[in-house]
Amino acid sequence: MSQVSVTINGKTYRMACDDGQEAHLEGLADRLNEIIGQLRQSFGEIGDQRLTVMAAITMGDDLAESRRQVRRLEAELAAMNETKAAVIARYEEAEANVARVVDLAASRLESLAEKLVAGDKRD
């Protein structure tokens, strides 16, 4: 476990985090501090605790919106994958049809060639 000191709303807090997560924790603290600063500019001095709660709610709202976006993107991806599967199936069906037509044409050409050869032998 690592220890990180972060400053939020002018107060320093010592926090524990997993090794390698120090920068992430510091970034989260910086974001919280930034939101508190923005709220302070908008609402003035309304109390540290209220500012902190409002900032936490703002971050929670950001997280909820991100989750909604992820669900929407997952639904879009699922729809795209279904469309892709349908396109691949149609392509494979068309490819099989082309192969059948080519085989049929080849058979007809062979039949005509045999008739021509047979006709030449009669002459």
Per-residue pLDDT of the chain (123 residues; tens, 9 = 90+): 999 999 999 999 999 999 999 999 999 999 999 999 999 999 888 898 999 999 999 999 999 999 999 999 999 999 999 999 999 999 999 999 999 999 999 999 999 999 888 877 766
Which pLDDT belongs to residue 57?
Answer: 96
9 class by beta-carbon count within 10 Å (0-12 exposed, 13-18 middle, 19+ buried): middle
Number of domains present in the structure of the chain: 1
Domain residues for 116?
Answer: 2-122
Compute the distance between CA of residue 47 and CA of residue 100 in angstroms, rounded to an integer: 79
